[in-house]
Amino acid sequence: MCGILGIGGSRGPHLVRRLIGELRHRGPDGEGVRADPALTLGHRRLAILGPDAGGNQPMVSASGDSVLVLNGEIYNYRELADALEARGKVPDRRYDTAVLLAGLETWGLDLLPRLDGMFAFAWYRPAAEQVVLARDRWGKKPLFWGRIRLDDGSRVLAFASELRLLARLPGGPPAVDPLGVARYLVYDGLAGTHTIYRGIRKLAAGSWMELDARGEVLASRRYFTFTPAPQPMAAGPAVVALRERLERAVLWRLRSDVPVGLFLSGGIDSSTLAALWRHLRPDDTIRTFTVGFEEDSFDERASARVMARAIGAEHREVVASGADLTQALEDVWARLSEPFADPSIVPTALLCRFAREHVSVVLGGDGADELQAGYDPFRAWGPSRLLELLVPRRFWQRALARLERLLPPSPANNALRFRVRHLAQGFAHPPEERVQGWMASLPLALALTAMKPELVAELEVEAVLEPSRRAFRRAREHGALYAQIATWVETYLECSILTKVDRASMLHSLEVRAPFLAPEVAGLLSSLPPALIFRRGHGKRLLRRLAGEMLPAALMHKPKKGLGVPQADWLRTVLRGRVEAALEYARSGGWFDHATIAHLWHEHLAGRADYRRSLWSFVLASPFQ
């Protein structure tokens, strides 16, 4: 795992050398800069495969015709090297970067669908002064780009692994993009390709873009879009196929020249990976890591211990005490590269810091819940559709709002009042927006009220929830379940789960690999008949059948807790000063309407309402205004 930076023009060499060190947390093991008259490339390296100097970047091809900087890993690099050798090419197969570069020169961009990995890279051909930017199919690795105006009035192409680097170029941060702000408030992260800055975009997941060295787009295309293709399939053969594909995904993700461990929550996703690892490599020392909480409603350590004992793991736990969480919060606050409001980034960062003391790579269960309908809102879909057939959804929204007012506020994880509020939010939206209606920290109407009126005046409101509508509509022909899954995959998975894991792990130079997102695993899961995914209020049916063959019985019916934090209490204690400072700033500047946020704050402080998520989104945005 690494960090990349590219800046065009004559000032590129100076600017890259000045800024590349700010990506050291992404790559503590080496730094490289290659200056070209048209485009300068910089790289910070986290050495995982071939940790010697032969893997340093920017890497120049054997032909000398092209240069590559890669952030990420290509897990099937050995198989690609075999295919290259069959064509008479001889890549240096010690390094996945060298195999990727040889593959690009051999197959061009037709290589991208063949890659099993997580990556964001820049492939530069100096003679043509053209660069290709590409990103993995799920968006695990970030890549921001734009034509940035510098302080001398010139515009240059710039791209980087972190948004804040582009905002620190001479000339200062670009103007705020109201659509980016609104999406941040509704999605907790940067859904779609917009960012909070005008003229700076995310490269879309599963896509590539070719530009000249001045930043003009020459071509762009998505090489992967999540597309369900359900096929008739019996449960028995499907379980066998899933096990075979997961085994291969785990084996490829254990390829490393540095120590590997496993995040173990005690849920069936990570526990299944642990059981497969032990089956595949019975002599391995398996190092597992769990974060626990002093508050029972957040804690899952007991389940993790059961699984760790079952596989004979070398198990370690870190308890997220108040002091530990406060320190992790400080790390996130000081070093987060773009606005991100999922509070579970804090314990995730604490867990990553703890794991990094022992290993450089871990496996995690990301993707299983999205691809296999593992979240509670999947259970709410059927009843909500039935209720609105009986009575218009406006009635249910009002009824649930009244019920919420009757329930006492509670700081507990997934408290009843919290769940009733978010269920009511869903009824404010038609089906194609409902997933995000349930999930939003600030539902769209409140987000618009919370923003400064001058920003809202520039905003095309219909565009805010377009990422959800687009995903839902594309998959709707395959039924409501797959339409929901597509929405979760294209929004929550990328802009929340994968963003959280990347940012938290990279704060501590730790690589996290996700076997459930291997192309052949995800391809199988997206081709299942719906009854093998979700039935009678329960998701992950196929995965549960596989897990039932390998896991202790005590883990099979454990309710999902998620990785929560005591937001409500933090806002009243360790974050109180920051909330009030941000409120004071909102009187005259920034993105937020002071009166709206002040009302939420006073209601929360008085204990009359629980606005933990809305206020969290507000305060976590303050360093970027």
Please write the tens of the pLDDT for every residue from 446-465: 999 999 999 999 999 999 99
What are the CA-CA distances from residue 112 to residues 83, 137, 215, 385, 592 (Å)? 14, 9, 22, 40, 41
367: three-class secondary structure by DSSP: coil
Q: Would the pLDDT of 410 be above 80? A: no
The pTM of the full predicted model, rounded to 2 decimals, is 0.94
Q: How remote is the C-alpha of 407 from its chain's centroid? A: 33
Rounded Cα gap, residues 485 and 232, in angstroms: 18
Helix, strand, coil percent values for the chain (each to nearest 5): 50, 15, 35
Residue 625 pLDDT: 86
Q: Is 596 within 8 Å of 314 (Cβ atoms)?
A: no
pLDDT band at 51 (very low <50, low <70, confident <90, very high): confident
Residue 561 pLDDT: 59
Let me know how long the chain is: 625
Domain 235-373+496-555: which topology?
A: Rossmann fold (3.40.50)
Residue 418 pLDDT: 75
Q: What percent of the chain has pLDDT over 70?
A: 97
* Average predicted confidence (pLDDT) for the chain: 92
Q: What sign results for the dihedral spanned by CA atoms 535, 539, 543, 544?
A: negative
Residue 293 pLDDT: 75
Residue 145 pLDDT: 98
Q: Would the pLDDT of 562 be above 70? A: no
pLDDT band at 385 (very low <50, low <70, confident <90, very high): confident
Q: How many CB atoms lie within 10 A of CB 466?
A: 15
What are the CA-CA distances from residue 20 to residues 134, 232, 338, 533 (Å)? 20, 51, 17, 45
Q: Is 490 within 8 Å of 474 (Cβ atoms)?
A: no
**Lowest-pLDDT choice from 111-115, 392-396, 439-443:** 392-396
Helix-helix angle 376-390:480-487, to 10 degrees: 130
**Lowest-pLDDT choice from 56-70, 138-152, 422-436, 584-598:** 422-436
Residue 24's contacts (CB-CB under 8 Å, 6 or more residues apart) are 3, 31, 44
Please compute the mean of the pLDDT values over residues 99-124 and round it to a whole number: 98
Bridge partners (DSSP) of residue 221 are 208
Rounded Cα gap, residues 380 and 419, in angstroms: 11
Instruction: Dig out the tokens for 567 from the structure.
Output: 């937001």
pLDDT band at 520 (very low <50, low <70, confident <90, very high): very high
Rounded Cα gap, residues 374 and 582, in angstroms: 36
| Strand order, beta sheet including 361-363 | 314-320, 287-293, 260-263, 361-363, 511-513
Q: What sign results for the dihedral spanned by CA atoms 45, 352, 347, 584?
A: negative
Please compute the mean of the pLDDT values over residues 598-619 and round it to a whole number: 90
DSSP secondary structure string, 83-97?
HHHHTT----TT-HH
Q: Would the pLDDT of 46 be above 90? A: yes
Answer CATH for 2-143+203-222 from 3.30.1330.90, 3.90.79.10, 3.40.350.10, 3.60.20.10:
3.60.20.10
Q: Would the pLDDT of 539 be above 80? A: yes
Residue 294 pLDDT: 67
Instruction: Give the residue carrying structure tokens 């009678």.
Output: 536
Q: Would the pLDDT of 420 be above 80? A: no
Instruction: Give the residue carrying structure tokens 């990785």.
Output: 563
Rounded Cα gap, residues 24 and 44, in angstroms: 6
Q: How many CB atoms lie within 10 A of CB 453?
A: 9
Residue 403 pLDDT: 76
Q: What sign results for the dihedral spanned by CA atoms 423, 424, 425, 428?
A: positive
Instruction: Give the residue carrying structure tokens 């003391």.
Output: 357
Q: Is 195 within 8 Å of 165 (Cβ atoms)?
A: no
Residue 560 pLDDT: 62
Instruction: Give the residue carrying structure tokens 């291997």.
Output: 518
* Domain extent listing, the chain: 2-143+203-222, 235-373+496-555
pLDDT band at 609 (very low <50, low <70, confident <90, very high): confident
What are the CA-CA distances from residue 587 to residues 445, 483, 577, 596 (Å)? 21, 42, 16, 11
Residue 44 pLDDT: 98
pLDDT band at 106 (very low <50, low <70, confident <90, very high): very high
What are the CA-CA distances from residue 142 to residues 1, 90, 162, 201, 347 (Å)? 11, 30, 7, 11, 21
pLDDT band at 559 (very low <50, low <70, confident <90, very high): low
Please compute the mean of the pLDDT values over residues 412-425 and round it to a whole number: 73
Q: Is the peptide bond before 58 cis (omega within 30 degrees of 0)?
A: yes
DSSP secondary structure string, 561-580?
------HHHHHHTTTHHHHH
DSSP secondary structure string, 210-267?
EEETT--EEEEEES-----------HHHHHHHHHHHHHHHHHHHT--SS-EEEE--SS
| Closest to 515 in 3D by CA, of 553, 546, 560 | 546
Task: Determine which helix (DSSP H) or strand (DSSP E) holds 266, and give its type and residue range.
Answer: none
Residue 31's contacts (CB-CB under 8 Å, 6 or more residues apart) are 20, 21, 24, 42, 43, 44, 45
Q: Is 513 within 8 Å of 253 (Cβ atoms)?
A: yes
Please compute the mean of the pLDDT values over residues 124-146 and round it to a whole number: 97
Q: Would the pLDDT of 425 be above 90? A: no
Q: Is 367 within 8 Å of 394 (Cβ atoms)?
A: no
